[in-house]
Amino acid sequence: MTITTPQILKALESMCDTIEDQKEYLSELDGAIGDGDHGVNMAKCFREVKKKLADNPAQDIGILFKDVGMVVMNSVGGAMGALYGTFFLRLSQASAGKEAVNLSDLVMMFQAGEQGILDIGKANLGDKTLIDALSPAVRAIEAAEKEGKALGAALADFEQAARKGMESTRDMLAKMGRASRLGERTIGHQDAGATSCYFILRSLASAVPR
Q: Tell me what pLDDT residue 204 has.
A: 96
Phi-psi region of 134 (alpha: psi -120 to 50; beta: other; left: phi over 0): alpha
Which pTM was predicted?
0.93
How do residues 135-173 score in pLDDT, each as one tens digit?
999 999 999 999 999 999 999 999 999 999 999 998 886
More confident residue, 56 or 74: 74
Q: If DSSP codes are grouped into helix, strand and coil, which group holds residue 44?
A: helix
Domain layout of the chain by residue ranges: 3-205
**pLDDT tens digits for range 40-63:** 999 999 999 999 999 877 789 999
Question: Nearest-CA neighbor of 63 among 97, 24, 39?
Answer: 97
E strands within the chain?
3-4, 100-101
The one-letter amino acid code at 26 reads L
Cβ count near 170 (within 10 Å): 14
Q: What confidence score (pLDDT) does residue 209 get?
A: 72
Contact present, 22 and 39 (Cβ < 8 Å): yes
110-139 pLDDT per residue, tens: 999 999 999 998 888 988 899 999 999 999
Return the DSSP state at 67.
H
184-207: pLDDT as tens digits: 767 888 999 999 999 999 999 998
How many CB atoms are located within 10 Å of the residue 171 CB?
11
* Fold entry, domain 3-205: 1.25.40
